[in-house]
Homo-oligomer: A and B are copies of this chain.
Amino acid sequence: MIKLNENFDKLKKNYLFAEIAKRTEEYKAQNPNADVIKLGIGDVTLPLCSSVLDAMHEAVNEMGETATFRGYGPYEGYEFLRTAISESYLRYGIDIQPDEIYVSDGAKSDTANILEIFQTGGNVLIPNPTYPVYVDSSIIAGRNICYIDANESNNFLPLPDYSVKPSIIYLCSPNNPTGAVYNKKQLKEWVDYALENQSIILFDAAYEAFIEDPDLPHSIFEIEGSKECAIEICSFSKGAGFTGVRCGYVAIPNELKVDGKSVGEMWLRRQSIKFNGTSYITQKGAAAALSKEGMEQARKNINYYKENAKMLSETLKGLNIWHIGGKNSPYIWLKCPNNMDSWEFFDILLTKSNIVGTPGSGFGTNGEGFFRLSSFGKKEDVEKATQRIKKLQF
């Protein structure tokens, strides 16, 4: 007799984005002329760069000719893309070889699926607040989660707690939702802790392209010892605007072994069973995004978002509102003024300024009293939003 996976019953019903949509729609229905600006989304808005478009058109053409048609591709991705990714690591002085790269349909899938190669016993350590995928994918697999507090006192950059001995550690830097970025010394503490406990760090680097401070690490592999304890999960979504194109990759160093077995080989075996490779057209686009021209074009888009983030951050500074992010990240994480809770502030921002943001409480209990603004909107909208925020009386 069939039974459903009961772990799904343990999922917290996440009404965050549904509730945001509901309150926004209600307000718009009552105020049909209101010019509501959405700064809640974590999705890019600028179109793809021309070098990516050109490469994808070319790939579509190749798929239309017998001589150049491509059927099933390698589970780990085409070598041309893995080589381009390997070379892109050299910007940061990191040696990751093409055979240490595993291309996929996106970092979200990888972030969740990678758990499958590890035994379900043991604890998964997750910072609170967090990107909900780490939590939900752990829960449906029946894994035990222990949280580590990210809060104002540690600038939302928690450091290891040696009393806890996790098997898996999720870290995201630059962080979603907080925009906080670990420095090298802090990441070194995590690597040392992982090595001591024989834990594996799953390092989500989806937002690394937004880092501008030269001293901040873009990759966990800038940290000594990391190749023996870390897997890096990367994305073309935010840097190259691929949220609707779907491409990401996992970097697993050949040095990374558990009980003498190669973790990369385990992952490839998993992918060979449950995945059938990434679209050839997508992979051609991704490789073009890593070309010199593609990188320059993507840089312009990233700078556009970063200008938005800067405007928002300066506005908050002028109002003495505590916040992090906004410099090396597309997100601004602010403390709601006057000890308001996250949803109170949401309602005030919506009704008084016609701005939609994201209540921090939606990302975990430690997000209560905080609020996320995103810089992925249009410049004119962000300019208008800053004018409105300045007029708010708290």
What residues of chain A have their CB less than 8 Å away from a CB belonging to chain B?
Answer: 1-6, 8, 11, 43-48, 50, 53, 56-57, 60-61, 63-66, 69-73, 105-106, 108-109, 112-113, 116-122, 133, 136-137, 140, 165, 167-168, 197-200, 241, 243-246, 258-259, 261, 263, 266, 269-270, 273-282
| Of B11, B121, B198, B244, the contact of A69 (CB 8 Å cutoff) | B244
Residues of B within 8 A of A281 (CB): 56, 245, 279, 281-282
* Residue from A2, A64, A122, A140 having most chain B Cβ neighbours under 10 A: A2
A244 → B minimal CB distance (Å): 4
* Interchain CB contact under 8 A, A277 and B246: yes
Q: If A105-B105, A113-B274, A245-B280 touch, does A66 touch B45 (CB 8 Å cutoff)?
A: yes
* Residue from A63, A165, A270 having most chain B Cβ neighbours under 10 A: A63
* Interchain CB contact under 8 A, A66 and B46: yes
A201 → B minimal CB distance (Å): 10
Closest to A257 in B: B4
* Interchain CB contact under 8 A, A50 and B71: no
* Interchain CB contact under 8 A, A60 and B63: no
* Interchain CB contact under 8 A, A43 and B64: no
Closest to A68 in B: B47
* Interchain CB contact under 8 A, B72 and A243: yes
Report the Cα distance A207→B266, complex, angstroms: 30
Residues of B within 8 A of A258 (CB): 2-4
User: Nearest 7 pairs between A and B by C-beta?
Assistant: A43-B71, A3-B119, A112-B274, A71-B243, A70-B244, A1-B198, A108-B276
* Interchain CB contact under 8 A, A112 and B246: no
Number of this chain's copies in the assembly equals 2
* Interchain CB contact under 8 A, B119 and A5: yes
Using A44-B71, A105-B246 as known contacts, list a sample of 14 further A-B pairs with CB atoms less than 8 Å apart, ordered by residue number in A: A1-B197, A1-B198, A2-B118, A4-B117, A4-B266, A5-B118, A11-B269, A57-B57, A72-B244, A109-B274, A109-B276, A112-B274, A243-B276, A245-B281
Report the Cα distance A138→B293, complex, angstroms: 45
Q: If A3-B167, A140-B116 touch, does A279 touch B245 (CB 8 Å cutoff)?
A: yes
Report the Cα distance A57→B109, complex, angstroms: 26
* Interchain CB contact under 8 A, A47 and B60: no
Report the Cα distance A318→B45, complex, angstroms: 62
Residues of B within 8 A of A165 (CB): 1
Residues of B within 8 A of A47 (CB): 63-66, 69
A139 → B minimal CB distance (Å): 9
Report the Cα distance A347→B262, complex, angstroms: 34
A282 → B minimal CB distance (Å): 6
* Interchain CB contact under 8 A, A8 and B269: yes
Report the Cα distance A120→B165, complex, angstroms: 27
* Residue from A8, A113, A197, A276 having most chain B Cβ neighbours under 10 A: A276
* Interchain CB contact under 8 A, A45 and B71: yes
| Of B113, B136, B137, B259, the contact of A3 (CB 8 Å cutoff) | B259
Report the Cα distance A1→B200, complex, angstroms: 9
Closest to A65 in B: B47
Residues of B within 8 A of A243 (CB): 71-72, 276
